[in-house]
A and B are shown apart, each in its own frame.
Chain A
Amino acid sequence: MAISSARKLCQNLIALAIQRCRISNNLCRLSILLKSPPEFNPPLLRVSISDTGAGSSLAEFKCMNCTSTQVSAETWDGVLSITTTSICDNEIHHYSLSFKETIATRRLSRLPTTPKNGRKFRQVGSEVSFTTQENIDDFVVWITQLCQKISILKIPMVAIELLVEQMNGPGSRCDHLLLAKDGILLPLSMPSIERLASGLEDYVLKHGNAVDKECQECFSSREQLKVGRGVACSGQSVKTTVQMAEAVIVITEVPESSNFSCLRACSKMTEVLYFQDFSPCSIPQLSLNALASIDWQSYGLTLISNAEDEDGCTILEWENLSPFTCIHIVLHSYHKEYPPSIIMKTNNVQNNLRTIGILKNQPVLTPQMHRRTQCDRNLVKKAVKIALDDLKAKYTGLFLSSHALKIRGYAPDLSRAIAGLILSSNDKDFQGECASLLGLQPVDINGEGIVDSCIKEKIIGVIEMNDIKPKYVKEYAPHLFEDNSIQKEESQDAEDEGEDILDL
């Protein structure tokens, strides 16, 4: 089933709320409250997204548009209720935005304001709500998964809660379905990539949040996870905005003794979790192409297919992956410096709304946006490759290239032959000399298989060492973060892989 526009709207409103939290640069709470008032038949679901971030700019909503036909065909009523105030406001503003109205200028209705009565400090933030006919149970499942994914980011200074208000009988009861507070508990100094890695580890340990707690049956400790991190960024100068891409890859090997449901969580498929500006979204086609164009073979992986499922999730399918091994990937593309300019903020909103089809006219990509899309593509690819190289460097033998695996296949025969040349020699001095070279004691020469296994170990060690590309070192070199360095590297990279050279 394709995702409904109510869900897309909800997802985008959450994204806007996250941006407001980030802009505020203070501890913030993002609350998502679901209510199902009993008096309606058929039952309606009231979705309210509130945040204690910076107040909402109406510019976010002015560009929203939607035809009455679209609204009537949808499960939401076409009306957004907006309540917002910022720290410098003396009042709380209320608006109603009706997409049923055909004339754009009449859509936004300003409602009576509420005075703050001097209580500036507490009353900062926004609340946006709408009503939908979606089944509450289905919606709860969907939004819970969405919030669990957002919690992977562990957004600094942002706590996220998901509440469902049960209104049965005379009273009402509020259930906390989710409270993600790691964002505010972790040290502020913790780098974003570390938060992302930690978040993905949590996610993986719970089998993609299919279970409530970490699965002790499969993972006795966090150290079992093999984690690779990759960060790439565009040049930083007066003219350019700092664009970041982070990639975390976690490899898990579920024990064969795991129960059936755990083994099901392990498959040849990888769902790529993609975040843009701290919000989950579908991976842009250009970035997906970039992901597909990675030379996976050089990491011993064969990518059979990459496709987006009906929920907008990107699924990578691997060949020859061990049935007990699973690859988890999360990507995050965002602006490092915030608050972003209002122009960028508007552009983001336009982007988000375009994806849900409620912008009246398809706006032409501005040069800035076009540049950003291209930049994302290259940065995402670069970050993933760095993460793969990171894994390769940290875990001996992991992700050996197809070529290295083939060469390694010769190691036993070669070592046996070399050992044979040593052991069958009738020159004892020569044997002693060889033992010394191998770091063995002369007496070890006569030990069964010792020389053979020592040589094999050394051959395999060199093969594995050679397979770690030298550019792994280069990519962490300081010049990467200097102006335009990424453009130069990407152009070379594109040439190497026979792709079009991108002019960033």
Chain B
Amino acid sequence: MEERSRDSSSKPQNLHLLQRIKGFTRSLLEDLCIRHCLPSVTLDRYRNYCSDPTGNWYCCNSNLLNGEEILSLEKESHAYRLDALLRVLLIVQTLLQENKHLSKRDIYYIHPSVFSEQQVVDRAINDICILVKCSRHNLNVVSVGKGLVMGWLRFLQAGRKFDCMRSPSTSHPIPMHVEEVEDVMCVAKYILVVEKETVFQRLANDKFCEKNRCIVITGRGYPDVSTRRFLRLLVEKLCLPAYCLVDCDPYGFDILTTYRFGSMNMAFDAKVLRVPEIRWLGVFPSDAEKYHLPDRCLLPLTPKDKNKAETMLQRCYLHREAPQWRSELGIMLQRGMKFEIEAFSVSSFSFLSDEYIPSKIQDGVYI
């Protein structure tokens, strides 16, 4: 358990959350002892998009509170979920009282046989966030850092100095406690977010940051909370444009939307996790012809890919806020082909860093 501070009383946020947890515990006892009914938990239900088949996408706002979910002991599936929720809540209460931090994985290993899989803990944490109306990091629960950053950036985190500028092409892990990041200094012109670590390493090898005065971030696939919060912090504090480079396939597109609109799983916290300013730099379906990619690099969309793309086309936020993105996704589906960013390395290893990205940014070929 990572100790951050010895005195919990110095954290008004912790006291506030502890008060809510006690209120919740009290309500469970009142159910049992006063109302003589089984304890139940009412959770607000959130979604960050809808898929209204009638086409009425404009009635749905982001972070829409979408009714309530009642977890009741009357249902066996709920009983298990409540059990997990209470076990995690007990851990969270201890963390807040002692002002210590644990990762989601640490929590899983406290009762591995009960939780059975990490997803059970993740859902319990999300439920608790909704219950006590806070973000996950407020619970002193962190995820094992997955994201990487490099470039013209320097900051402090809990007194520790992260000086990326000393070696702009060296990767640094994105800090877990983003709320403790301070004194951010930067001389970059933009932030580039890449989907994959392989591309990140390619850019590092090509000393892309040194040549282009930028910051490069990767979430290594679907970005975790820390990566998204860190990106949002940089965009807000530095007011830099952010571009995103993902594979030309439905999963790359979904990762792109996660950065911009947030994920459905954490819709309750989308407000602090999304980066609406991010722009799609590539790769677009039309890039295959534009850059004369060989046919061997083009792969047919699988039925699963098609299904995912068709489902995503229905998302209301694409209709409302990113029609151009939606249109590119439609083209991808229509052509039935996908390809990866690495396809641009076929003619030259450094094509991506020397030509593709700089020219796109310079010419404003992003949407």
Whether B69 sits at the interface, judged by CB under 8 Å, is no
Chain A residue numbers with a CB within 8 Å of B37 are: 462, 466
Q: Which of B26, B36, B89, B94 contacts A462 (CB 8 A)?
A: B36
A159 to B268, CA, bound (A): 78
Cβ contacts A to B, 5 pairs, < 8 Å: A410-B73, A414-B86, A418-B39, A430-B26, A439-B33
Chain A residue numbers with a CB within 8 Å of B86 are: 414, 417-418, 421
Q: Is the CB of B22 within 8 A of A417?
A: no
Whether A426 sits at the interface, judged by CB under 8 Å, is yes
Q: Is the CB of B73 within 8 A of A424?
A: no
Stretch at the interface among B76-84, B172-180, B243-251, B353-361: B76-84
Chain A residue numbers with a CB within 8 Å of B29 are: 418, 434, 437-438, 455
Whether B87 sits at the interface, judged by CB under 8 Å, is yes
Q: Is the CB of B93 within 8 A of A421?
A: yes
Closest chain-B Cβ to A437's Cβ sits at a distance in Å of: 4
Whether A433 sits at the interface, judged by CB under 8 Å, is yes
What's the tally of chain A residues with a CB closer than 8 Å to chain B?
28
Chain B residue numbers with a CB within 8 Å of A424 are: 90, 93-94, 97
Chain B interface residues toward A at CB < 8 A: 18, 21-22, 25-26, 28-30, 32-34, 36-39, 73-74, 76, 79-80, 82-83, 86-87, 89-90, 93-94, 97, 114
Whether A422 sits at the interface, judged by CB under 8 Å, is yes
A458 to B73, CA, bound (A): 13
Q: Is the CB of B30 within 8 A of A407?
A: no
Whether A403 sits at the interface, judged by CB under 8 Å, is yes
CB closest chain-A residue, reference B86: A417
Chain A residue numbers with a CB within 8 Å of B36 are: 462, 465
Q: Is the CB of A437 within 8 A of B90?
A: no
Fill in one digit per residue for A151-188: 1 if any B CB lies within 8 Å of its CB, else 0.
Answer: 00000000000000000000000000000000000000
Chain A residue numbers with a CB within 8 Å of B39 are: 414, 418, 459
Closest chain-A Cβ to B116's Cβ sits at a distance in Å of: 13
A420 and B76 in contact (CB under 8 A), knowing A425-B22, A462-B32? no
Whether A193 sits at the interface, judged by CB under 8 Å, is no
A455 to B28, CA, bound (A): 10
Whether A413 sits at the interface, judged by CB under 8 Å, is yes
Q: Is the CB of A410 within 8 A of B34?
A: no
Chain A residue numbers with a CB within 8 Å of B28 are: 418
Q: Is the CB of B83 within 8 A of A421?
A: no
Chain B residue numbers with a CB within 8 Å of A425 are: 18, 22, 25, 93, 97
Q: Is the CB of B34 within 8 A of A437?
A: yes
Closest chain-B Cβ to A465's Cβ sits at a distance in Å of: 7
Closest chain-B Cβ to A76's Cβ sits at a distance in Å of: 60
CB closest chain-B residue, reference A410: B79
Chain B residue numbers with a CB within 8 Å of A462 are: 32, 36-38
Q: Which of A421, A433, A437 has the most CB of B within 10 A?
A: A421
Whether A406 sits at the interface, judged by CB under 8 Å, is yes
Whether A427 sits at the interface, judged by CB under 8 Å, is yes
Q: Which of A407, A433, A466 contacts B79 (CB 8 A)?
A: A407
CB closest chain-B residue, reference A420: B90
Q: Is the CB of B87 within 8 A of A417?
A: yes
Q: Is the CB of A430 within 8 A of B22?
A: yes
Q: Is the CB of A410 within 8 A of B89?
A: no
Chain A residue numbers with a CB within 8 Å of B97 are: 424-426
Q: Is the CB of A463 within 8 A of B34?
A: no
Chain A residue numbers with a CB within 8 Å of B26 are: 430, 433-434, 437
A420 to B86, CA, bound (A): 9
Chain A residue numbers with a CB within 8 Å of B74 are: 407, 466
A381 to B104, CA, bound (A): 53
Q: Is the CB of B32 within 8 A of A458?
A: yes
Q: Which of A414, A427, A430, A466 contacts B82 (CB 8 A)?
A: A414
Q: Which of A413, A427, A430, A458 contacts B114 (CB 8 A)?
A: A413
Fill in one digit per residue for A386-409: 1 if any B CB lies within 8 Å of its CB, else 0.
Answer: 000000000000000001001100
Q: Is the CB of A459 within 8 A of B83?
A: no
Closest chain-B Cβ to A53's Cβ sits at a distance in Å of: 55
A414 and B73 in contact (CB under 8 A), knowing A422-B25, A424-B94, A434-B25? yes
Fill in one digit per residue for A429-454: 1 if any B CB lies within 8 Å of its CB, else 0.
Answer: 01001100111000000000000000
A202 to B29, CA, bound (A): 46
Q: Is the CB of A410 within 8 A of B32?
A: no
Q: Is the CB of B76 within 8 A of A403?
A: yes
Fill in one digit per residue for A108-130: 1 if any B CB lies within 8 Å of its CB, else 0.
Answer: 00000000000000000000000
Chain B residue numbers with a CB within 8 Å of A437 are: 26, 29-30, 33-34
Please list the 3 inter-chain residue pairs (A to B) with the smallest Cβ-Cβ separation, ordered nearest first: A417-B86, A410-B79, A420-B90
A426 to B22, CA, bound (A): 11
Q: Is the CB of A427 within 8 A of B22?
A: yes
CB closest chain-A residue, reference B33: A437
Q: Is the CB of B38 within 8 A of A417?
A: no
Q: Which of A417, A465, A466 contacts B89 (CB 8 A)?
A: A417
Chain B residue numbers with a CB within 8 Å of A427 are: 18, 22
Q: Is the CB of A459 within 8 A of B38?
A: yes
CB closest chain-B residue, reference A433: B26
CB closest chain-A residue, reference B35: A462
CB closest chain-A residue, reference B87: A417
A112 to B201, CA, bound (A): 122
Closest chain-B Cβ to A89's Cβ sits at a distance in Å of: 67
CB closest chain-A residue, reference B82: A414
Closest chain-B Cβ to A413's Cβ sits at a distance in Å of: 5
Q: Which of A414, A422, A426 has the most CB of B within 10 A?
A: A414
Given contacts A407-B76, A427-B22, 8 further A-B contacts (CB under 8 A): A407-B74, A407-B79, A413-B114, A414-B83, A424-B94, A430-B25, A434-B26, A458-B33
Q: Is the CB of B80 within 8 A of A421?
A: no
Closest chain-A Cβ to B75's Cβ sits at a distance in Å of: 8
CB closest chain-A residue, reference B22: A430
A465 to B30, CA, bound (A): 17
Closest chain-A Cβ to B34's Cβ sits at a distance in Å of: 7
Closest chain-A Cβ to B9's Cβ sits at a distance in Å of: 10
Chain B residue numbers with a CB within 8 Å of A407 are: 38, 73-74, 76, 79
Chain A residue numbers with a CB within 8 Å of B22 are: 425, 427, 430
A413 to B82, CA, bound (A): 10
CB closest chain-A residue, reference B24: A421
A413 and B83 in contact (CB under 8 A), knowing A430-B22, A459-B38? yes
Closest chain-B Cβ to A298's Cβ sits at a distance in Å of: 14
Chain A residue numbers with a CB within 8 Å of B21 are: 421
Closest chain-A Cβ to B7's Cβ sits at a distance in Å of: 12
A433 to B23, CA, bound (A): 11
A417 to B89, CA, bound (A): 9
Closest chain-B Cβ to A456's Cβ sits at a distance in Å of: 10
Chain A residue numbers with a CB within 8 Å of B33 are: 437-439, 458
A433 to B22, CA, bound (A): 11
Closest chain-B Cβ to A231's Cβ sits at a distance in Å of: 30
Q: Is the CB of A406 within 8 A of B30?
A: no
A406 to B89, CA, bound (A): 23
Q: Is the CB of A466 within 8 A of B76?
A: no
Q: Which residues 321-378 of A have a CB within 8 angstroms of B?
A: none
Q: Is the CB of B90 within 8 A of A417?
A: yes
A406 to B79, CA, bound (A): 9
Closest chain-A Cβ to B37's Cβ sits at a distance in Å of: 6
Chain A residue numbers with a CB within 8 Å of B90 are: 417, 420-421, 424
CB closest chain-B residue, reference A413: B83
Chain B residue numbers with a CB within 8 Å of A434 are: 25-26, 29
Closest chain-B Cβ to A389's Cβ sits at a distance in Å of: 19
Chain A residue numbers with a CB within 8 Å of B89 are: 417, 421
Q: Which of B21, B39, B114 has the most CB of A within 10 A?
A: B39
Q: Is the CB of B73 within 8 A of A455?
A: no
Closest chain-A Cβ to B41's Cβ sits at a distance in Å of: 12
Closest chain-B Cβ to A402's Cβ sits at a distance in Å of: 10
A49 to B33, CA, bound (A): 64
